[in-house]
Amino acid sequence: MTPLVDPEVYLARMARPLQEKLKVAQFISPGAKNILDVGCADGVVTCALAEMFPHAQFLGIDLDANFVVQARERARLMGNARFYRLYLRELLAKKQKYDTVLFVSVLHEFFSYGEGISSVLKALCDARELLVKGGDIVIRDMVLFDYAYSTTYQVEEMLKKVRRYGDTLKLLQDFEHCFGPVRTLASLNHFLLKYLYPENWERECCENYIPVTFEQYASAFELLGMEVIHQRSYLLPYLKDKWQKDFGFSEDEMSDLKSTGFIVART
């Protein structure tokens, strides 16, 4: 994995849409006792949730030792949030089960820096084994539907507008070197989610933000004997405003672009 050039900038960016990420709270039962946050980074989301659910115990895990140190410092005065550097699979050897397992903006990294789809599937399998009966897996990530990977509707017209904007052409060339020519709605949507963040470009350019579709997640959960009880995909307002300002996209052109997906599956 290419290291982060500026971890602090990365963490600040991850924390910026905190209120959006905290929408996962609506899928945590008021009676939940134990919640696991997988890929917790510096614990911003985990600690905010722990404050919202003071009677629940939160465990945040991450593989970055420096992030875990920061998370522990953040939770120093909290009695219901703990953080450890370990792999999700290591928890299977312990007796503790969880009412909710959270994957907040992290499963695309399992794909990119692990072994592709097999790493995502292993994570879901492990999470399933760690749930109590009636427990939930909650995913918040960049997720598109299958059709976006085949449709080319309006893509070329929008791409012309993208190529005319500032330094975007160089970023687009780097992106296409990693992922191939931008021809489908999914590939254009993918680039639009990236170009705003050049500070760690060497690492993030080839990170696959949208590797798993809603339909693929649904198939995985069906095999795990879980029911998808909620799914939603939308475009964050600030991204819509930014893309319209930068590229002059029309409302019609913007109508199928997405940034955020939620999937909740229950045992």
Total tally of structural domains belonging to the chain = 1
Q: Does residue 191 belong to any structural domain of this protein?
A: no
Q: Does residue 251 belong to any structural domain of this protein?
A: no
Could you give the CA distance from residue 96 to residue 98 in angstroms, rounded to a whole number? 7
pTM, whole model, 2 decimals? Answer: 0.92
Could you give the CA distance from residue 119 to residue 144 in angstroms, rounded to a whole number? 19
Q: Does residue 197 belong to any structural domain of this protein?
A: no
Domain hosting 136: range is 7-144+208-235+259-266
Q: Does residue 195 belong to any structural domain of this protein?
A: no
- pLDDT of amino acid 3: 54
Q: Does residue 240 belong to any structural domain of this protein?
A: no
Write the CATH number for 41.
3.40.50.150
Q: Does residue 79 belong to any structural domain of this protein?
A: yes
- Length of the chain, in residues: 267
Q: Kindly give the residue spans of alpha helices, DSSP state H, lying in the chain.
A: 7-15, 18-21, 44-52, 65-74, 107-113, 117-129, 155-163, 168-179, 185-194, 201-204, 214-223, 237-247, 251-254
Q: Which residues contact 255 (CB under 8 A, 6 or more apart)?
A: none
CB neighbourhood size of 170 (10 A): 11
Q: Does residue 247 belong to any structural domain of this protein?
A: no
Q: Does residue 181 belong to any structural domain of this protein?
A: no
What does the pLDDT profile of the chain (267 residues) look like in tens digits?
A: 555 445 555 445 544 567 888 999 999 999 999 999 999 999 999 999 999 999 999 999 999 999 999 999 999 999 999 999 999 999 999 999 999 999 999 999 999 999 999 999 999 999 999 999 999 999 999 999 999 999 999 999 999 999 999 889 999 999 999 999 999 999 999 999 999 988 888 888 999 999 999 999 999 999 999 999 999 999 999 999 999 999 999 999 999 999 999 999 999
Which residues are paired to 230 by β-bridges?
264
